[in-house]
Amino acid sequence: QVQLVESGGGLVQPEGSLRLSCAVSGSIFSRYAMGWYRQAPGKQREWVAVIYRGGGTNYADSVKGRFTISRDNAKNTVYLQMNSLKPEDTAVYYCNTPTSPWPWGQGTQVTVSS
């Protein structure tokens, strides 16, 4: 049973930064592409970024140039460095594999507000 545990969220002012982490247990982590997703109040969950097994990355247009996804296969962990945060980045952030998603974790709340 794969478990996803997201952490690192919080309250930050506009233009601030946060680094999210997602620990993945119960799987051969290095075999999977990993993605970050977010869900704002009243909206559907949306894809934010993906990192492939070989390290290639891709980003949603709304975060391109501000967010950076990375992974540490030795720690079974994927990260999301978020810079120049905007109020519209406020959401619960989740990680998962994009191909055949595992059960979703609890997510981590990111609130961008002055």
Pairing of strands 108-112, 10-12: parallel
Mean pLDDT for all residues in the chain: 96
List of the chain residues with pLDDT < 50: none
For the segment 65-97, what is each residue's pLDDT rounded down to a tens digit? 999 999 999 999 999 999 999 999 999 999 999
And the tokens for 58?
């891709």
- Among the listed residues 62, 47, 59, 25, the one whose alpha carbon sits nearest the alpha carbon of residue 99: 47
What's at 8, amino acid-wise? Answer: G
